[in-house]
Structure 1
Amino acid sequence: MNALSDNTIMLRVKAGDLERMGLLFERHYRSLYGFLFHMTYHREASEDMVQTVFYKMLRYRNSFTGEGEFMAWMYQIARNVLKDEVKKKGKLPGTHHDANELADRLPGGASADEHLEKKQANAGLYMAMNKLSDDNREILTLSRFQELKYQEIGQILGITEGAAKVRAFRAMQELKDIYTKMER
């Protein structure tokens, strides 16, 4: 059963085999959580939004055609959930905090010393990422943290592969500029 593609599993879910949704959840919870966490830097909000994404995938399963990639469809739903959060709250949950608060929200069960080291090492990056526009933070999250291919990112964002590469390059340049200015 694990050898089945995501598209095949989702088509079976669409046909009424709802128990297969658990397999998709197991496969994609972590990456979806990572995407939402890097967009919000808020653990609880990210966990809630992951649940909402899977609920919406189940609710709107009939909209999945199987022609495109499952991942693109899933991330489009996740982007819509983020947009809904912005509409409800006026901003992404958890964004625009100071670096120490962001680093405190890192998930995981590391020891206190390891957590402190990780907190200090990542604080500058989180601060710089937090200063990016939502669009630039999103494309860097998809390309660098989620390690999606530009073709997949293009499908998710509704742009060409080339446009995804250009946007990612520009976002990375902006991140470098922000980080460099912070170091001065």
Structure 2
Amino acid sequence: MQELTNNALMLKVKSGDLDKLGLLYERHKKRLFGFFYNMNSNASLSEDLVQNVFVRMLKYKHTFTGEGSFSAWMFRTARNVNYDYYRKNKIAFNKSEISTVEYKLEDGDSIEKGMNKKDEISVLNRAMQLLPPEKREVLVLSKLKEMKFSEIGVILGCSEGAAKVKAHRALKDLRTIFLQLETR
């Protein structure tokens, strides 16, 4: 049996075959969790928000046309879920607690190199948390989720070119914050 595309599965959900939403959930729960975790650094909250995305996808299944990318539609829904959560709970986006970053040394690097790498990752994580949420979001989508700028444009409600500009500016700001933190 040929594996159905995400668009085809969502169109089946739209037409009433609700079991297909479970397949979509299994395919995308890790990507969505990563998106939310990179935005809020809270695993428990991220799991809840992933569930909320699929509840909302079910509720608004009639809005899916199947013409664009399913991933863009899903991440736009995820973005709205994230925004609504923070608005409802009156929590500032950029006041997330800074989590520790786990990493693996790639080869037999010396302990000193490993410690430097850990320090850089820690500083980078802090710099990401200090970015405004809009800039953090575009970096998470483009660099961590490796989405195409055309999809990011759909998610953010702007053109592909505007999405590239936003990502470039966010990287520039991240670099500035990173260098400021590193010199401390």
Normalised by the shorter chain, which TM-score bucket?
0.7 to 0.9
Q: 1:96 Cα shift? A: 3.5
Counterpart residue identity of residue 61, structure 2: R
Q: 1:168 Cα shift? A: 0.3
Q: Deviations over 1:7-31 (max 9, x none)?
A: 1110001111111111111111111
Q: State the secondary structure of the residue aligned to 1:103.
A: coil
Q: How many residue pairs get matched?
A: 172
The question of whether the paired residues in 2 share the 8 Å contact of 1:41 and 1:95 is answered with no
Q: Where does structure 1 lack aligned partners over 5 or more consecutive residues?
A: 107-115
User: Normalised by the size of structure 1, how large is the TM-score?
Assistant: 0.86
2:51 corresponds in structure 1 to 51
Counterpart residue identity of residue 164, structure 1: A
CA distance in 2, matches of 1:18, 1:119: 45
Q: Deviations over 1:114-170 (max 9, x none)?
A: xx9786553211100011001000000000010000011001111111111111011
1:140 corresponds in structure 2 to 139
Over the aligned positions, Cα root-mean-square deviation in angstroms equals: 2.2
Q: Determine what percentage of the aligned residue pairs are the same residue.
A: 44
2:110 corresponds in structure 1 to none
CA distance in 1, matches of 2:118, 2:85: 27
Q: Is the deviation greater in 128-137 or in 83-92?
A: 83-92
The question of whether the paired residues in 1 share the 8 Å contact of 2:94 and 2:132 is answered with no
2:173 corresponds in structure 1 to 174
Q: Deviations over 1:87-117 (max 9, x none)?
A: 12222578432x4xx117x6xxxxxxxxx97
Task: Please list every run of at least 4 consecutive aligned residues from structure 1 whose deviation after the TM superposition is greater than 3 angstroms.
Answer: 92-96, 116-121
Query: Mapping of 1:67-106 within 5 angstroms?
Result: 67-91=67-91, 95-97=95-97, 99=98, 102-103=99-100
Q: Judging changes above 3 Å, is the alpha-carbon distance between structure 1 residues 94 and 51 closer, same or farther for their aligned structure 2 residues?
A: farther
Q: Judging changes above 3 Å, is the alpha-carbon distance between structure 1 residues 79 and 92 closer, same or farther for their aligned structure 2 residues?
A: farther
Counterpart residue identity of residue 57, structure 2: M
1:125 partnered with 2:127? no
CA distance in 2, matches of 1:122, 1:53: 29
Q: Judging changes above 3 Å, is the alpha-carbon distance between structure 1 residues 23 and 173 closer, same or farther for their aligned structure 2 residues?
A: same
User: Normalised by the size of structure 2, how large is the TM-score?
Assistant: 0.86
The question of whether the paired residues in 1 share the 8 Å contact of 2:7 and 2:66 is answered with yes
The question of whether the paired residues in 2 share the 8 Å contact of 1:103 and 1:119 is answered with no
1:165 corresponds in structure 2 to 164
Counterpart residue identity of residue 124, structure 2: L
Counterpart residue identity of residue 90, structure 1: K
